[in-house]
Chains A and B, each alone.
Chain A
Amino acid sequence: MKLRRLLVIVLTLSLSACASVGVKPWERDLLAKDEMSLNADPLDLALDDHIYFSKEAASGGRAFAGGGCGCN
């Protein structure tokens, strides 16, 4: 419960802070590069996720954790 309240506060703070942060469309040159995408190198991330999914107790976070395998 505490976690969720924290999250709500963080979300609210971020949203209200939005107005003052951010860039104009013509300032997106750096952010628009492939390597600046939050999902850059998706294959690396997917392969890593699969390994850690089968070797550790935690999974997901970046993307959905659901849909597994019987990997050992």
Chain B
Amino acid sequence: MQLNQRNNIIGALTAATCSLLGTPAIAQESPSTAEPWQFDTAILYYGESERVTAVEGVFSASKDFGNEHIFSGKITIDGLTGASATGAVAQPSAQTFTRPSGKGEYQIAAGETPLDDTFRDTRIQLNGQWTQPLWQDYRVSSGVHLSKEYDYLSMAVNANLARDFNQRNTTVSAGLSYAFDSIDPEGGRPVAFASMPLRSDYATDQAFDDAFDATRLSGSDDKNTLDLMLGLTQVINRRTIMQLNYGLSVVDGYMTDPFKMLSVVNPQGLTQDLLYENRPDSRTRHNVFWQTKYALDSGVADLSYRFTTDDWDIDSHTLDSRLRFNLTQDSYIQPHFRYYQQSAADFYRPYLMAAEGLPQFASADYRVGEMTAFTLGLKYGMLLDDGKELSFRIEYYQQNPKNPGFAEPGVLQDLDLYPSVKAVMAQVSYRF
């Protein structure tokens, strides 16, 4: 065959095919394995009663460039406003706190859990990931992560290698991720266990400002996180697939929350002083994650369990189940239930006793204390033409912090030191 003839083959063949099949001879692109861009978007409202409200928008795009060379990118923007628990305990009388910036004060009424209502932050997050096959049966994936907010920057890179065995029924993977976080809070980071100065204790503004500045460290601090993950995915049968992951996470650096404090109380339970918290600067955590998905005749059952343990003595158990029922060919509902339980960190103290010396580390943040939490949710999805999907999700999330066994002196017995946190999430997603 001549070269110039070759170029005409496809055209002539198309014409011949069309007259054979009696189909109109429209010039059509030959189908390729490359698929069009797929976009996923979602907007989430998260609202805690009397506390934080957040709105988060996500736009993600992915494309298979053919032969499983896949790029995916994601932009997340969220805005957060509202109040967050400071760690200080409620008192029978009103309390006054200095704002974290040192500029101004706020009052907390008698019997109320102290909340700092100055939170207002906008965050932008970018993710990019590239996945492709590498010689036979291997797949590599690599990605970057960037998250930036006013006082916080997080950057991460990850890489993952997976190998398929047994006709792709078994996949073994190993991945590594390194993250660098930098924090530079407004007003500086508090000196560990420094006492919170109050304006009323000082004669002049200048004297107060000097005292406040003395509790602050200038500049930023950072934290390094190294994650290792080993995964095993196994197809069990035509309906069942199972995954088992082990993760090791080593964190080194600044993990103290600059906005959290501890109340120092006397034997009557009355606050004598407020100290900024101090957490260890290293943490090693192990994760085991197991997930099973089962294809029902018209739906999917998804069950996962996660166990984590770390050298802060926090052990956690998480059970998550999603059951998808296809109502019709084009719609489904998916109830969601999640149960979470964690034990307290060894340095967790709901408050400090004035008579006792300072521990090496302490935090009254309920998030490192003992708690249980559950989530109940329901999702409704509609499959539209051309692979578009519109879905709505509503979830109720409740955290129930618990006393891990601290005696409650005096007035603290009558106050709610472990208030529940109740939140509602509402989400709309659209895929096109």
Contacts and interface: CB of A to CB of B under 8 A. Distances in A.
B403 interface: no
Contact of A44 (B170, B285, B429): B429
B interface, over-half SS:
strand
Interface stretch (B20-28, B204-212, B270-278, B286-294): B286-294
Nearest to B185: A70
B178 A58 contact: no
Interface residues of B, number: 96
B314 A36 contact: no
A interface, over-half SS:
loop
A43 to B, nearest CB: 5
Interface string B119-130: 101010100000
B213 interface: no
B155 interface: yes
A11 B230 CA distance: 10
Interface string A42-72: 1110110011100111101111111111111
B259 A72 contact: yes
Contact of B287 (A19, A33, A35, A65): A65
B369 to A, nearest CB: 9
Interface string B256-275: 01010000000000000000
Contacts of A41: 429
B388 to A, nearest CB: 13
Interface string B398-432: 01000000000000000000000100010101000
A58 B316 contact: yes
Contact of B367 (A25, A57, A65): A57
B175 A64 contact: yes
A70 B185 CA distance: 10
B98 interface: no
Given A57-B314, A57-B345, A62-B291, A67 B167 contact: no
Nearest to B247: A60
A31 B316 contact: no
A54 B86 CA distance: 15
Contact of A67 (B154, B300, B302): B154
Contacts of A64: 156, 158, 175, 177, 227, 229, 247
Interface string A4-41: 00010011001100110111110111110101101011
Contacts of B145: 67
Contacts of A60: 227, 247, 249, 285, 287, 289, 308
B393 A70 contact: no
A67 B147 contact: yes
B349 interface: no
Given A43-B42, A44-B393, A66-B249, A30 B306 contact: no
26 contacts: A19-B166, A21-B169, A21-B234, A21-B235, A22-B234, A25-B167, A30-B295, A44-B429, A50-B56, A51-B425, A56-B340, A56-B342, A57-B345, A58-B287, A60-B285, A60-B308, A62-B304, A63-B229, A64-B229, A65-B285, A66-B226, A67-B145, A67-B179, A68-B147, A69-B147, A70-B121
Interface of B: 40-42, 44, 46, 52, 56, 58, 60, 74, 76, 80, 84, 119, 121, 123, 125, 145, 147, 149, 151-152, 154-156, 158, 165-170, 172, 175, 177-179, 181, 183, 185, 225-227, 229-230, 232-239, 241, 243-247, 249, 257, 259, 285-289, 291, 293, 295, 300, 302, 304, 306, 308-309, 312, 314, 316, 318, 324, 340, 342, 345, 367-368, 371, 373, 379, 393, 397, 399, 421, 425, 427, 429
Interface of A: 3, 7, 10-11, 14-15, 18-19, 21-25, 27-31, 33, 35-36, 38, 40-44, 46-47, 50-52, 55-58, 60-72
